């Protein structure tokens, strides 16, 4: 039954994507990774095909002068983007985490391609604004495709940094010493190196047991000692981690590696921060990374303190739903369940700007499985690979051999190293390990884009309704109105209210003389918190899956107008006949 369910879900995914492709004005395939020019061209084509729904512009440049593109999806016919709740999505703040850009591209393509045929998508695009920055670290992602590299090379911004404190910057990077266009791994024969060849697969190295003679010492990434200090690859290009460079609880490099010289010192970091503060309507953000399969929320460190319970409930609802949309992913707290970080983008968005958000850690290496069905009698504590009969490394080799025809791994090959003599070079290739093979891209991008779409459905969507009008005598009438929000995200986060980041929402009545007004705490017991000054204007917020009820005592007849004005929700208006 489980197999049939998986097959059914996979079939639905294929059918929905094929249907979208047939009606698409722009054909895009998601069976490969888009390099820099391809990615920009794809967004340009989408912008040209959907001019009334999109805008493509440059919000800044990188350290090496490359453009940082912003793609906005907003139906201009239904209003300005800043008058609607906004969803911000970005990818590849770490340059080697390339598939994050694919999620951003797929999200944009899917929303636009399905606009005319899917009522649910059309309603979202008409009533929300989507701000998409597919590549934050444009320098290193471009280099990932155009230069010799490896899956674990190219994380940071291209800001020169003296990693080894020898007075020089970026002078000892990894090197493609065998000239094959990739920077792989090196090993050298050494009986005391701690590793030996697996008896079941000569490509795999396994740890030696205590007292056992080994065969190999791992030397790390391919390269030479460029600066003659006796170490390899210890001072590569740049080292400013843009996801440690934001201005909330930033800590200097001796506390937080990669933090940079000061907050917002990287050009992309500053450009994005400058953009975000111009869009106070943003109420949720997704920052896509890899890998591990996680939806991560803050706090990232003890310095940030605990999140208010009201906001935790919002995160919990969306995070647990995310675990269902992306099976195998875990909803976690970064600083508690992973490791401590300072100066994170998502922390800055939440704590400085009152914006909820997740880091989406894409792809799980466990998906690269080559094993028979797990036996029913397997115990909880049993090694997960025991029923396969090998190690994780051996299983991955079989996955590579039989699902990618060996493309993922380059066999070990002898090479005469100028400093170590005879070594062997090989290992997992550049487009592996931290990213899925091409045949697995489509499901990854669709499920993660679907999580963004699900969350977009839960931005604050406030409606106004008249509860009652009661004649109190003496020319006075009591007007009661309800503002309700059926969605998970409130009109203002509790953190935004606590820190007074934004002006509160305003419920206002006009067209009559207002004697008093206030928020109703208990409508049936007539408990009202009265407004002391300007009672015609009531400042409040509309909670998650909740309501706010207000009342005014007024004089006058005719038509009265009640308006709701918000920073992060669409404004509303209600006319009352008195």
Q: What is the pLDDT of residues 130-168, one digit of tens each?
A: 999 999 999 999 999 999 989 989 999 999 988 888 898
pLDDT reported for residue 7 = 41
pLDDT band for position 444 (cuts 50, 70, 90) = very high
Question: What share of the chain in percent tops pLDDT 70?
Answer: 93
pLDDT band for position 21 (cuts 50, 70, 90) = low
Asked whether residue 370 is assigned to any structural domain, the reply reads: no
- Identify the residue with better confidence: 401 or 15: 401
pLDDT reported for residue 388 = 54
| pLDDT over threshold 90, residue 440 | yes
Is residue 295 within 8 Å of 358, Cβ to Cβ?
A: yes
Shared-domain flag, residues 332 and 402? no
Asked whether residue 378 is assigned to any structural domain, the reply reads: no
Asked whether residue 260 is assigned to any structural domain, the reply reads: yes
pLDDT band for position 237 (cuts 50, 70, 90) = confident
pLDDT tens-digit map of 68-124: 999 999 999 999 999 999 999 999 999 999 999 999 999 999 999 999 999 999 999
Rounded Cα distance, 329 and 202, in Å: 33
CATH number for position 505:
2.60.40.10
Q: What is the token pair recorded at 185? A: 């791994």
- Identify the residue with better confidence: 377 or 65: 65
Shared-domain flag, residues 183 and 289? no
| pLDDT over threshold 60, residue 260 | yes
pLDDT reported for residue 4 = 40
Shared-domain flag, residues 276 and 401? no
Shared-domain flag, residues 356 and 402? no
Contacts from 160-163 at CB under 8 Å and sequence distance 24+?
A: 160/238, 161/238, 161/239, 161/240, 162/235, 163/234, 163/235, 163/236, 163/239
Q: What is the token pair recorded at 86? A: 């906004």
Asked whether residue 151 is assigned to any structural domain, the reply reads: no
Shared-domain flag, residues 284 and 265? yes
Is residue 576 within 8 Å of 562, Cβ to Cβ?
A: yes
204-220: average pLDDT: 94
170-180: average pLDDT: 93
pLDDT reported for residue 9 = 44
The alpha carbon of 574 is separated from its chain's Cα centroid by a whole number of angstroms, namely 37
Rounded Cα distance, 161 and 180, in Å: 28
CATH number for position 265:
3.40.630.10
| pLDDT over threshold 50, residue 430 | yes
416-436: average pLDDT: 95
Shared-domain flag, residues 272 and 125? yes
Q: What is the token pair recorded at 538? A: 């009531």
pLDDT reported for residue 163 = 87
pLDDT reported for residue 2 = 39
Three-state DSSP class for residue 361: strand
Shared-domain flag, residues 357 and 418? no
Work out whether the CA dihedral 481, 487, 488, 492 comes out positive or negative. Answer: negative
Secondary structure element (H or E) that encloses residue 427, with its range: strand 421-428
pLDDT reported for residue 182 = 95
pLDDT reported for residue 371 = 81
pLDDT reported for residue 370 = 87
Asked whether residue 3 is assigned to any structural domain, the reply reads: no
- Look at residues 338, 496, 356, 367 and name the one whose alpha carbon lies nearest to residue 99: 367
Q: Which residues pair with 286 in a beta bridge?
A: 89, 358
pLDDT tens-digit map of 360-401: 999 988 888 888 766 666 665 555 555 455 678 889 999 999
- Cα end-to-end span (Å), the chain: 62
pLDDT reported for residue 369 = 86
- Look at residues 238, 313, 334, 335 and name the one whose alpha carbon lies nearest to residue 495: 313
The alpha carbon of 307 is separated from its chain's Cα centroid by a whole number of angstroms, namely 19
Asked whether residue 10 is assigned to any structural domain, the reply reads: no
Q: What is the token pair recorded at 574? A: 């209600």
Question: What share of the chain in percent tops pLDDT 90?
Answer: 84
445-469: average pLDDT: 97
Q: Per the structure, how many domains does the chain have?
A: 3
Please state the φ and ψ torsions of residue 260, each to the nearest 5 degrees. Answer: 85, 175
pLDDT reported for residue 378 = 63
Rounded Cα distance, 219 and 215, in Å: 13
CB atoms within 10 A of CB 308: 14
- Look at residues 510, 504, 500, 475 and name the one whose alpha carbon lies nearest to residue 569: 504
Shared-domain flag, residues 421 and 448? no
Average pLDDT for the chain: 92
Asked whether residue 59 is assigned to any structural domain, the reply reads: yes
Shared-domain flag, residues 102 and 187? no
Shared-domain flag, residues 189 and 61? no
Shared-domain flag, residues 420 and 474? no
Asked whether residue 308 is assigned to any structural domain, the reply reads: yes
Containing domain of residue 523, as a range? 463-577
pLDDT reported for residue 392 = 84
- Look at residues 279, 219, 551, 159 and name the one whose alpha carbon lies nearest to residue 417: 219
Shared-domain flag, residues 422 and 442? no
């Amino acid at each position: 039954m489980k197999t049939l369910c998986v097959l059914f879900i996979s079939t639905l995914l294929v059918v929905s994507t094929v249907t979208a492709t047939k009606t698409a004005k722009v054909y895009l395939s998601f069976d490969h990774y888009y390099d820099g020019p391809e990615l920009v061209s794809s967004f340009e084509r989408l912008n040209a095909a959907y001019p009334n729904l999109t805008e493509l512009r440059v919000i800044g440049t990188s350290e090496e002068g490359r453009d940082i593109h912003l793609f906005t999806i907003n139906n201009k016919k239904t209003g300005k983007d800043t008058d609607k709740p906004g969803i911000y999505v970005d990818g590849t703040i770490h340059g080697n985490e390339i598939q994050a850009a694919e999620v951003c591209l797929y999200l944009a393509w899917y929303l636009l391609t399905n606009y005319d045929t899917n009522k649910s998508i059309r309603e979202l695009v008409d009533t929300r604004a989507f701000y998409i920055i597919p590549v934050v670290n444009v320098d290193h992602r471009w280099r990932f495709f155009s230069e010799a590299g490896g899956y674990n090379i190219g994380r940071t911004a291209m800001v020169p940094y003296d990693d080894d404190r020898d007075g020089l910057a970026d002078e000892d990077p990894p090197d493609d010493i065998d000239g094959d266009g990739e920077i792989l791994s090196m090993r050298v024969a050494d009986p005391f190196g701690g590793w030996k060849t697996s008896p079941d697969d000569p490509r795999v190295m396994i740890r030696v047991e205590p007292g056992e003679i080994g065969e190999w010492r791992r030397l790390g990434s391919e390269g030479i000692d460029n600066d003659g200090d006796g170490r390899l690859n210890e001072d590569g290009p740049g080292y400013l981690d843009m996801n440690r460079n934001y201005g909330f609880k930033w800590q200097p490099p001796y506390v937080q590696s990669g933090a940079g010289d000061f907050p917002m010192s990287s050009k992309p970091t500053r450009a994005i921060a400058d953009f975000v503060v111009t869009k106070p309507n943003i109420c949720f953000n997704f920052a896509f990374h890899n890998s591990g399969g996680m939806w991560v929320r803050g706090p990232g460190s003890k310095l940030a303190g605990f999140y208010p319970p009201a906001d935790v409930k919002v995160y919990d609802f969306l995070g647990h739903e995310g675990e269902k949309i992306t099976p195998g992913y875990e909803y976690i707290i970064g600083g508690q369940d992973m490791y401590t970080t300072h100066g994170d983008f998502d922390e800055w968005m939440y704590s400085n700007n009152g914006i909820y958000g997740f880091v989406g850690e894409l792809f799980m290496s466990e998906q690269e499985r080559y094993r028979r069905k797990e036996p029913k009698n397997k115990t909880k504590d049993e090694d997960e690979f025991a029923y396969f009969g090998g190690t994780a490394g051996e299983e991955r080799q079989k996955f590579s051999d039989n699902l990618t025809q060996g493309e993922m791994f380059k066999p070990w090959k002898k090479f005469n190293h100028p400093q170590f003599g005879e070594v062997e070079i090989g290992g997992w290739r550049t487009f592996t390990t931290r990213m899925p093979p091409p045949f697995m891209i489509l499901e990854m991008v669709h499920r993660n884009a679907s999580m963004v779409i699900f969350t977009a459905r839960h931005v604050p969507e406030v409606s106004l309704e008249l509860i009652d009008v009661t004649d109190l005598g003496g020319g006075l009438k009591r007007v009661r109105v309800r503002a309700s929000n059926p969605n998970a995200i409130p009109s203002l986060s509790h953190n935004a209210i606590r820190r007074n980041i934004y002006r509160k929402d305003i419920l206002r009545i006009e067209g009559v003389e207002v004697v008093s007004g206030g928020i109703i705490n208990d409508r049936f017991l007539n408990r009202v918190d009265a407004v002391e000054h300007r009672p015609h204007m009531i400042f409040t917020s509309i909670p998650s899956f909740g309501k706010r009820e207000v009342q005014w005592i007024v004089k006058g007849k005719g038509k009265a107008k009640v308006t709701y004005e918000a920073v992060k929700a669409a404004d509303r208006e209600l006319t009352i006949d008195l």
